[in-house]
Amino acid sequence: MAPTTEKTDVAIIGAGPVGLFAVFECGMLRMRCAVFDALDAPGGQLTALYPEKPIYDIPGYPRIDAAVLVEKLAAQAAPFRPVYHLGRPVTTLAATGDGGFRLSTQAGTAVEARAVLIAAGVGAFGPNRPPLAGIDAYEGGAVRYLVTRRDDFRGKRVVIAGGGDSAVDWALSLAEIAARVMVVHRREKFRCAPESAARMKALAEAGRIEIVAPFQLDALEGDGRTLAAVIVKSLDGAVRRLEADFLLPFFGLAMTLGPIATWGVSSRAAPSR
């Protein structure tokens, strides 16, 4: 049996802050919304990358945790009963004969809408993974590319790889609760805010963080599920074995528009009046 086609007033592609607030704005105009996102939860990058980190550029909030902002946006949208299609990226978008649009998702869902709002930012994103043999067996467990629950690392031995703001910020944060934090970077100089670098250096001098530089990730030791150690190697061939429960590689994100780039969507200047 062919799947039924849902109908709505506005299809919103992207469940980040802009998409969630758009549900509220459309709802105030009595327009029903269906919201699509490739991620399994609303919030976009706030949820995927730094839910427990504070952010400072939200109007009316000098400081608010990213996850709290997502909760408030979802609560603001809730009275208008949006239909969420999460974990279901939109694969096709086509105009219909009546002036509307038809969307299909990777899961086979079909939705017809009178209007489409693309709030996907730079598109779908994922981590730049280090080229380590067998790393995929540990991903989501001992190897994680983002921190969604800080307390998971309480009392654990954590290796953080990277030299940017994310790596240093999480090193500073996890140093408060982890049994041991080791920061691996290929250079001795870090690409982060100077104040953060100074704080990390102070914690290293106090013995609360170990800076392993200049070294690079070389291999993982473990049974394919539980991590035992991270092997690192310097440019001159020196090898170190870092006993660890977790590896957090922070090498940035690979971003792509994915199917959106094939939809023929283009921006047009508004006509002069």
Does residue 9 register a pLDDT over 90?
Answer: yes
Burial of 195 (0-12, 13-18, 19+ CB in 10 A): exposed
Which pLDDT does position 4 carry in this prediction?
Answer: 73
Question: How much of the chain, in percent, has pLDDT values that exceed 70?
Answer: 91
Q: Does domain 5-121 match CATH 3.40.1010.10? A: no
Average the pLDDT over each of 75-79, 116-120, 260-264 and give the range with the smallest value. 260-264
Q: What is the pLDDT of residue 5?
A: 85
Given a cut of 60, whether residue 68 has pLDDT beyond it is yes
Average pLDDT over residues 34-60: 84
Asked, colleague to colleague, whether 5-121 and 127-253 share their fold, the answer is yes
Average of pLDDT values for 58-80?
Answer: 94
pLDDT at 211: 97
Average pLDDT for 100-110: 91
**What's the pLDDT at 272?**
40
Average pLDDT over residues 83-103: 91
- Which one, of 162, 202, 203, 157, lies nearest residue 185 by Cα? 162
Tell me which of 105 and 88 has the higher pLDDT: 105
pLDDT at 97 (0 to 100): 86
Q: Name which residue leads in pLDDT, 183 or 87.
A: 183
- Bigger pLDDT: 54 vs 256: 54
Does 126 have pLDDT greater than 50? yes
Q: CA torsion 160→162→168→174, rounded to 10°?
A: -10
Of the two residues 219 and 146, the one the predictor is more confident about is: 219
pLDDT of residue 269: 41
Where does 127-253 sit in CATH, by number? Answer: 3.50.50.60
Nearest one of 264, 267, 253, 250 to 122, comparing CA atoms: 253
Where are the domains positioned within the chain? 5-121, 127-253
Residue 212: CB atoms within 10 A of its CB come to 18
Q: What is the pLDDT of residue 47?
A: 79
The pLDDT of residue 157: 98
| Three-state secondary structure call for residue 9 | strand
Q: What is the mean pLDDT of residues 242-256?
A: 88
Burial 31-54 (b: 16+ CB within 10 A, else e): bbbbbbbbbebbbbbbbbbbbebe
pTM of the complete model: 0.63
pLDDT digits (tens, 9 = 90+) for 138-150: 998 999 987 878 8
